């Protein structure tokens, strides 16, 4: 099932290229711009920056169309199946995880996409955030059991 054909890797590369360009053009790579969206206290004074909403809505619309197209197909172009997320349940881990992420995001203005994208600029202290992100992610693996079968069994 490990697909390493050239078209498969080329697709990953094209997607990564579009993603990186999109993060720069939208300026979501800039933590201050993200924080200026999250700062709702600036709404009364007119200092609020709603740009993030203008990024995520078109992104969702484009992806929504792709999901519709995908529903008419048995498989993606270069793999044998669509990899639907395994978890289906809304539980404490989902809410707790999202809450912890929200705290970290609000403290820094950096979510995982921009964290990687920022490597292009190597701003001061970025490596600290990246190491912590990596450590946190793999520490989280200890809480969320890894392995396809265990996760599936756990989700039901």
Partner 1 sequence: MESFSPLSAAIGGSLIGLAAAVLWLGNGRIAGISGIFGQLLPPAQTVIWRLVFLVVLVAATFVAAKLLPGLGVGGNVPAKLVDAPPAWGVPSPIWLAIAGLLVGVGTKIGNGCTSGHGVCGLARLSLRSLVAVLVFFGVAIVTVTVTGIV
The answer to whether residue 132 forms part of the interface with partner 1 (CB under 8 A) is yes
CB of 91 to partner 1, least distance (A): 9
Residue 65, Cα to own-chain centre: how many angstroms? 19
Residue 39 dihedral angles phi and psi, to the nearest 5°:
-85, 85
Count CB neighbours of 2 within 10 A.
Answer: 4
Among the listed residues 109, 152, 153, 154, the single contact to partner 1 using CB under 8 A: 109
What tokens appear for 112 in the block?
A: 């995982």
Does 154 bind partner 1 (CB under 8 A)? Our answer is no
Site for partner 1 in 22-61 (CB under 8 A): 22-33, 35-36, 38-42, 46-52, 54-61
Binding of residue 152 to partner 1 (CB under 8 A): no
DSSP class of residue 118 equals G
């Amino acid at each position: 099932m490990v697909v390493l054909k050239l078209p498969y890797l080329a697709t990953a590369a094209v997607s990564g290229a579009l993603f990186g360009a999109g993060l720069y053009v939208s300026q979501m790579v800039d933590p201050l711009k993200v924080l200026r969206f999250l700062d709702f206290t600036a709404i009364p004074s007119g200092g609020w920056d709603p740009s993030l909403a203008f990024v995520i809505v078109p992104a969702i619309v484009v992806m929504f169309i792709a999901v519709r197209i995908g529903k008419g197909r048995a498989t993606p172009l270069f793999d044998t199946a669509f990899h639907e997320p395994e978890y289906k349940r809304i539980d404490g881990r989902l809410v707790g995880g999202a809450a912890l992420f929200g705290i970290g995001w609000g403290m820094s203005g950096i979510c995982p996409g921009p964290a990687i994208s920022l490597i292009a600029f190597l701003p001061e202290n970025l490596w600290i955030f990246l190491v912590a992100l990596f450590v946190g992610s793999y520490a989280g693996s200890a809480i969320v059991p890894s392995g396809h079968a265990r996760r599936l069994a756990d989700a039901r």
